[in-house]
Amino acid sequence: MIKTIAVIEGDDAAPEAMQPVIALLDSLNIGLEWVYPEVGEAAEARTGSIFPDDARALIDGADTTFFGSTSGKSGAALMYLRWGKETFANVRPCRYLAGCASPLADPEGIDFVIVRENLEDLYIGAEGQLTDLAPLALTGRNIKGFVHEMGVGRYALKAITEGGTERVVRFSFELARKRAGQRKVTCATKHNMLRETDGLFLEVARRVASDYPDITFESFIVDDFACRLIREPQKYDVVVMPNLYGDILSDAAGGLVGSLGLAASGCFGDDYAYFEPAHGTAPDIAGMNIINPTAALLSSTMMLEYLGFAAEAIKIEEAIARVYSRGDFLTPDQGGSATTTEFVSAVTQQL
């Protein structure tokens, strides 16, 4: 059965990581079909819109989307893939591969997954002038007087819903079951300060946890957790967090194993998922063919698994691990001198 994948290669150096990965997947001959929605500047020049209807139709018609990193106007497509498709669980694995350039003395055994709530929190995009809050006559717990009287300034709304939290926490417990590793879910919030919003997140997480007696549940205040994650990353299995903390700590997690070039990501909803390396577009190395394609490759294996090709996904992951442990074709961020395409060729050889 043919599976259709919509590809948005992204900006700057991102396409250089995406293209060889797509070529590798294509060479598997498992019936993948690629379609290329035109978004961003190119689409704007043709249609006047950075995210035209035909691009949306290709994404809707595909089984999934494979997305390179965006810096510019292709961001509109990203917004659609998240909020339009309600991909509420952003899954970001962090696994140590022997041979990767981790800064830790003892990175062996790091294997956890951050599940970041992907649609709510400070990401709802409701910001504005403080004075616009005057009709609400809000007072803060920690400031004297009305919020709108603080002076010239802006606000951002943080919103956490029961439903949004419950589904991402449930997703995390199901993932912990499926991974069958430490069988543990860790929740990180700032509930001591954000008692209503993060307080609700934690409350819902605790409630959901009671439905999973076979999975250990623990929670930490997020700043303390950041320290624990760096000191003892091997202790974690599945970590669930509100959106912004998940954004920040998933980059930190990339640093634990050596670089963002290793940070894969997939965003899952009830009836759609898309996959994107978590790194940025790396404009400083655009055109040099040295961007580390590991994040794109590992995102693509998450995608293969989602599409029903779990065996192929495992083979590619094992091939990547062999390339790292041999160490002769690593990209510069990992201390090697191989190009992006040489790295992917080495993985293909190992297959």
Contact footprint for ligand IPM (CB under 6 A)? 247, 278
The strand pair at 111-117 and 238-241 is best described as: parallel
For the chain, how many residues are written?
351
> Taking CB within 5 to 8 Å according to partner kind, which of ligand IPM, Mg ion, none is near residue 63?
none
Helices 340-350 and 294-307: crossing angle in degrees, nearest 10, is 40
Given the complex with ligand IPM, which of 172 and 265 has the nearer CB atom? 265
State the residue number with the nearest CB to ligand IPM.
247
Q: Which of these, 338, 340, 325, lies nearest to 96 by C-alpha position?
A: 325
Nearest distance, CB of residue 281 and Mg ion, angstroms = 12
Is there a contact between 298 and 314 (Cβ–Cβ < 8 Å)? Answer: no
Is there a contact between 55 and 77 (Cβ–Cβ < 8 Å)? Answer: yes
Given the complex with ligand IPM, which of 123 and 236 has the nearer CB atom? 123
DSSP assignment of 42-93: HHHHHHS-SS-HHHHHHHHHSSEEEE---SSTTHHHHHIIIIITT--EEEEE
Nearest distance, CB of residue 151 and ligand IPM, angstroms = 28
Q: Which of these, 10, 22, 174, 21, lies nearest to 89 by C-alpha position?
A: 174
Nearest distance, CB of residue 241 and Mg ion, angstroms = 13
Given the complex with ligand IPM, which of 274 and 306 has the nearer CB atom? 274
Q: Which of these, 262, 341, 338, lies nearest to 297 by C-alpha position?
A: 262
Given the complex with Mg ion, which of 12 and 247 has the nearer CB atom? 247
Nearest distance, CB of residue 213 and ligand IPM, angstroms = 33
Nearest distance, CB of residue 247 and ligand IPM, angstroms = 5
Q: Which of these, 227, 219, 235, 249, lies nearest to 116 by C-alpha position?
A: 249
Given the complex with Mg ion, which of 63 and 247 has the nearer CB atom? 247
The residues, any chain, with a CB within 8 Å of residue 240's CB and separated by 6 or more, are: 114, 115, 116, 117, 168, 169, 172, 185, 186, 187, 188, 205
State the residue number with the nearest CB to Mg ion.
247
Nearest distance, CB of residue 278 and ligand IPM, angstroms = 5
The residues, any chain, with a CB within 8 Å of residue 38's CB and separated by 6 or more, are: 46, 52, 54, 55
Given the complex with Mg ion, which of 229 and 347 has the nearer CB atom? 229
Given the complex with Mg ion, which of 204 and 222 has the nearer CB atom? 222
Query: For binding to Mg ion (CB under 5 A), which residues are involved?
Result: 247
> Taking CB within 5 to 8 Å according to partner kind, which of ligand IPM, Mg ion, none is near residue 282?
none
Given the complex with Mg ion, which of 247 and 276 has the nearer CB atom? 247
**Alpha carbons 171 and 269: distance in angstroms, whole number:** 10
Nearest distance, CB of residue 40 and ligand IPM, angstroms = 13
Nearest distance, CB of residue 278 and Mg ion, angstroms = 6
Q: How far apart are the first and last CA of the chain?
A: 23
Q: Which of these, 237, 163, 172, lies nearest to 200 by C-alpha position?
A: 163
